Amino acid sequence: MAVRALRGAIQVDENSRDAILEGTTELIKAVMHRNTITPDDLISVIFTATPDLDAEFPAYAARLLGFTDVPLLCTTEIGVPGAMPRVLRLLAHIETETPRSGLHHVYLHGAAALRRDLPQ
């Protein structure tokens, strides 16, 4: 069993509690589904939010999905001038037999423009 990392991002419409929770939930579910993983496969998840998103902790959405024994961390992205606004990102560390080339990183809605090199 190898330790691998999965990336994902989603752009939300506004800085509201509901938008952050709904966007984070959508992102988590998409990453889990596209990679056929369960919470038992997770080692830890780091969430980042652009500086304009501060109405809720993205990790709270993971707790609501039942990630009660997975270490979670939230932090703020670097505020680079001209960067895409209202973006939530995750970096999930997992245990898997899947080779790195078989993992599917997930970029949703406007955040898909961040990684045009990846199939959506």
Number of structural domains the chain divides into: 1
Question: Which one from 56, 60, 63, 97 is the annotated catalytic residue?
Answer: 63
Domain that holds residue 65: 2-114
Asked about 107 being catalytic, the answer comes back as yes
Q: Is residue 33 over pLDDT 90?
A: yes
The two three-digit tokens of residue 21, written as one number: 């929770």
DSSP state of 110: G
Does residue 90 fall inside a structural domain?
yes
Question: Which one from 14, 34, 89, 116 is the annotated catalytic residue?
Answer: 89
pLDDT category at 52 given cuts 50, 70, 90 is very high
Does residue 18 fall inside a structural domain?
yes
Specify the pTM. 0.94
Q: What percent of the chain has pLDDT over 90?
A: 91
Q: Is residue 120 over pLDDT 60?
A: no
Longest CA pairwise span in the chain (Å): 40
Q: What percent of the chain has pLDDT over 70?
A: 96
Q: b/e string for 65-80 if b means 16 or more Cβ within 10 A?
A: eebeebebebeebeee
Give the per-residue pLDDT at 117: 66
Question: Which one from 4, 7, 14, 56 is the annotated catalytic residue?
Answer: 7
